[in-house]
Amino acid sequence: MLCLKKKMKNKLDLKILSGNNFNQAITKLDKTRVITFANTHSYFLLMDFKDLNKISYIFSDGQFLTNLHNIFFQDEKITRASFDFSSKADDLFNYAIRENKVISIIGGEAKDIVDAKKYILARHPKLKFGFCRDGFFFNESQEKEAIIAATESDIFIIGMGALKQETIAVKIKEMLPKGKLVLTCGAFISQTAKRGDYYIPIVKRLGLMWLQRAVLEPHTLNRLFKIPFFLLRYCVSHTRNIYDESKK
């Protein structure tokens, strides 16, 4: 019978939590925590991220990656968690309201910030926003100014694309090492600006968020074409330590 060794988990797998643990993770603020989300596009980018060790928790932002994880680690199965209104965004905003937390947003385009905030406040009128700005920095000075301007906030939502957003998140953690929560959100800001609750109900029920994105955001199609290569690389990297239990 084939069995998988515990040590087969790589450094990224060890940080992945089940979506059921999201609400618990966002309340651990004795020190600044960074939460990000992995999917088939960002998984190996995060593996190569030089500051991966400074990310506190990772959640699986897609059913395909979630299913793969559960195949390889059947004793530690996880559920999906994404930062959008199909998953965990409402949980975070409700927590912020309940605990009187102030939220800063960095990411998207300038108009996206305005429109996204308008929709979020319509959905959560008691929410408090602090410093918010687009994610287009022209130099490190502007980047630092944005982080400093947001220091009075408790929660930071960063949406700048894979690795750019994680880089900013880690810089916030290093500048503000205690009591803050930093989450990456991918395309959440621009999606919310365009459509509010971006995914239609039947898409959310069927777990076909990837298909709606492919239809509405053609630039994401190339990610679908890369999935077979991701699958091959993932399987190869996770089967090197398979051994035959019967030969022990």
Q: CA dihedral in degrees (29, 106, 213, 42; nearest 10)?
A: -60
Examine residue 219 and state whether it is found in any structural domain, yes or no: no
The dihedral of CA 155, 160, 165, 167: what is its sign? negative
Q: What is the pLDDT of residues 3-54, one digit of tens each?
A: 454 447 899 999 999 999 999 999 988 899 999 999 999 999 999 999 999 9
Q: How many CA atoms lie within 13 A of 33 on its CB side?
A: 16
Q: What is the mean pLDDT of the chain?
A: 89
Residues in a beta bridge with 38: 60
Contacts of residue 14, Cβ cutoff 8 Å, sequence gap at least 6? none
Examine residue 88 and state whether it is found in any structural domain, yes or no: yes
Nearest of 248, 241, 136 to residue 189 by alpha carbon: 136
Domain of 173, CATH number, reads: 3.40.50.10700
As given in the structure block, the two tokens for residue 52 are: 């991966």
> Out of 117-121, 160-164, 241-245, which region has the weakest mean confidence (pLDDT)?
241-245
Examine residue 209 and state whether it is found in any structural domain, yes or no: no
Cα 37 to Cα 122: distance, rounded to the nearest angstrom: 26
Examine residue 1 and state whether it is found in any structural domain, yes or no: no
Fill in the DSSP letter of residue 157. Answer: E
Domains identified in the chain, total number: 1
> Out of 9-13, 54-58, 204-208, which region has the weakest mean confidence (pLDDT)?
204-208
pLDDT-derived band of residue 246, with 50, 70 and 90 as boundaries? very low
Examine residue 235 and state whether it is found in any structural domain, yes or no: no
Containing structural domain, residue 121: 30-198
Return the residue matching tokens 């009075």.
152
Q: What is the mean pLDDT of residues 112-129?
A: 96
Examine residue 8 and state whether it is found in any structural domain, yes or no: no
Examine residue 237 and state whether it is found in any structural domain, yes or no: no
Q: What is the pLDDT of residues 131-141, one digit of tens each?
A: 999 988 878 88
Q: Strand 128-133 and strand 155-159: pairing?
A: unpaired
- Alpha helices per DSSP H over the chain: 22-25, 43-47, 63-72, 89-98, 110-123, 140-149, 164-175, 188-195, 201-206, 209-216, 221-225, 227-239
- Which amino acid, one-letter code, is at 111? K
Examine residue 121 and state whether it is found in any structural domain, yes or no: yes
Q: Are 108 and 132 in contact (CB under 8 A)?
A: no
pLDDT above 70 coverage of the chain, percent: 94
As given in the structure block, the two tokens for residue 242 are: 């398979």
Q: Are 59 and 19 in contact (CB under 8 A)?
A: yes
Determine the longest span between alpha carbons in the chain, in angstroms. 62
